[in-house]
Structure 1
């Protein structure tokens, strides 16, 4: 059995699809299954059993001998969530329980951290574990993820293999339910579809022209390939915290132009002021350093932004198909 938490969510459901492609069909899907729109992501997936999030550890106590690997991808992922009790429970304390259970039962673990831990990037975007205690996330979500990374690194007892993954700007199918937190590609597709135009934030930084703010946009199909690699590799000496991006920052203008092209609509791009309440915390540049996972043997190329957007738009967004 392979456990995937956050199974009905964006990355979790894509991970299950990728596992199914390689005939890993004894999947234990863990989530809060009370959201109908999210549950659509699990249609046509091969799953052995669904387990409610708050009942999982009781289930694991009874079934741990059959569990081969755990992908802990479930979390409260909203950067607009300011209820620290919710974030502490779902993102920090729940993951501590997962960590301790995987030690107890000798199960390898991959868990979701976040590039939100890097804050404004004052210390760069290198996945060095030495800088983690000094990072300054910009919101409680990022803090909750960094709090767990710090805690994990302090532990003397660790899982037989473990990896914390700092996801950068992931986009791709199965994010229909994420609403405001969905990727810029998703929002661009919907805005262009309704208005034949796209509004981007103006730059309030003299070093960047309007629309040339940059992010490391990574296609979800590349993300799941990296996780598949870690599952098969799972060497104890390769345990640690890894960036999950492409290593190449691209502009919002590049992304928007790629979306217009994939939709077959003539470009019509204008700019609006960045809202004042987020202007002082707005990131103008993020770019993952990817040498660490390359050094342990991950050698697949990353999907270009243009190819990823084209696949996402034409094969998923235009048909509301799931991956």
Structure 2
């Protein structure tokens, strides 16, 4: 459901009683430039939902992002103490907006005692899986590489823009959507929920590994080509992310994550190679 900020109060007033809100909507384009639009969408709307949930005692779970960690120079620990959050330096407007709301929410909870009865910010790492086909340029790399190799071409990967880092060895923590939904279901019932939590597999894998997994899942020989990174991404590209998962595990989340190869194979065979990819 898509709700404009100016329509939120009306919609909430007319909605049936709610026990929880999971807020995932955002402008997630990493090359976005309209700061006013990003702020209204990613910060103002989230603040309105937070305040409504606090007032009406409704559980609130919202999407933060691994982009808040920037180049990883301050690590990827999901410590939500203000002193830890203030060390983070996102690389782009999207990450900055998510970080701004994390800081605001933490101050509301810790300094102003204005918080929903149970709340969690979830720092999603690189999510992929079915029903993402509307996302345009922000669709997952798995889908993009699948389309490339099925069209008869190579899987194209960006050359490294980091000295000493080989092409294709940029690494991300890729997580399949089924593992994400398992975590969200868990958070919906977790007791005494408060804070910001990483959500990845805890294992960084290279883009070359991903491209190989896509080729294998499609029964094709490995074929990878490296291309120049677009100018708009240089200096804003995370070459490494990995999610420490101790905080979410400490709540009792004992789910076993799919490996990159398992997730890619599931996505391609059960969805992308089917007549109906939404099935």
Q: Please give the TM-score of this superposition, normalised by the length of structure 1.
A: 0.80
Q: Indicate the residue corresponding to 2:228 in structure 1.
A: 273
Match of 2:265 in 1: 310
Cα distance change of structure 1 residues 53 and 173 upon mapping to structure 2, 3 Å threshold: farther
How many corresponding residue pairs? 272
Q: Do structure 1's residue 113 and structure 2's residue 64 form an aligned pair?
A: yes
Residues 56/282 of structure 1: CA separation in 2 closer, same or farther (3 Å cut): closer
1:194 and 2:151 correspond: yes
Secondary structure of the 1:126 match is coil
Match of 2:28 among 74, 77, 89: 77
Q: 4+ runs of 1 displaced by more than 6 Å?
A: none
Paired residues for 1:192-231 under 5 Å? 192-231=149-188
Q: Does 1:171 align with 2:128?
A: yes
Q: For the aligned residues, what is the CA RMSD?
A: 1.6
**What is the DSSP-based 3-state SS (H/G/I as helix, E as strand, rest coil) of the residue aligned with 2:151?**
helix
Q: Look up the SS of the partner of 2:135 in the other structure.
A: helix
CA distance, structure 2, for counterparts of residue 31 and residue 114 of structure 1 = 19
The answer for the alignment partner of 1:150 in structure 2 is 103
Tell whether the 8 Å contact from 1:31 to 1:53 is kept in structure 2 after alignment.
no
SS in 2 for 1:315: helix
In structure 1, the gaps of 5 or more residues are: 1-29, 33-51
Structure 2 Cα separation of the partners of residues 303 and 75 of structure 1: 26
What is the rounded CA distance, in whole Å, between the counterparts of 1:86 and 1:276 in structure 2?
Answer: 23
- Aligned match for 1:241, one of 196, 205, 209: 196
CA distance in 1, matches of 2:51, 2:101: 13
| CA deviation after TM superposition for structure 1 residue 53, in Å | 6.7
Q: How far apart are residue 219 of structure 1 and its match?
A: 0.5
Q: Secondary structure of the equivalent of 2:157?
A: strand
Task: Tell me: higher relative CO, structure 1 or 2? Use CA pairs within 8 A at least 6 residues apart.
Answer: 2
Are 1:134 and 2:90 an aligned pair?
A: no
Instruction: Please report how far the alpha carbon of residue 196 of structure 1 lies from its aligned counterpart in structure 2 after TM superposition.
Output: 3.5
- Alpha-carbon shift at residue 76 of structure 1 (Å): 1.3
Partners of 1:113 and 1:167 within 8 A in 2: yes
8 Å CA contact 1:196, 1:265 repeated in 2: no
SS of alignment partner, residue 166 of structure 1: strand
* TM-score of the superposed pair, with normalisation by structure 2: 0.93
| 8 Å Cα contact 1:125-1:289 kept in structure 2 | yes
The answer to whether the Cα contact below 8 Å between 2:42 and 2:97 also exists between their aligned partners in 1 is yes
Q: Which runs of 5+ in 2 are unaligned?
A: none
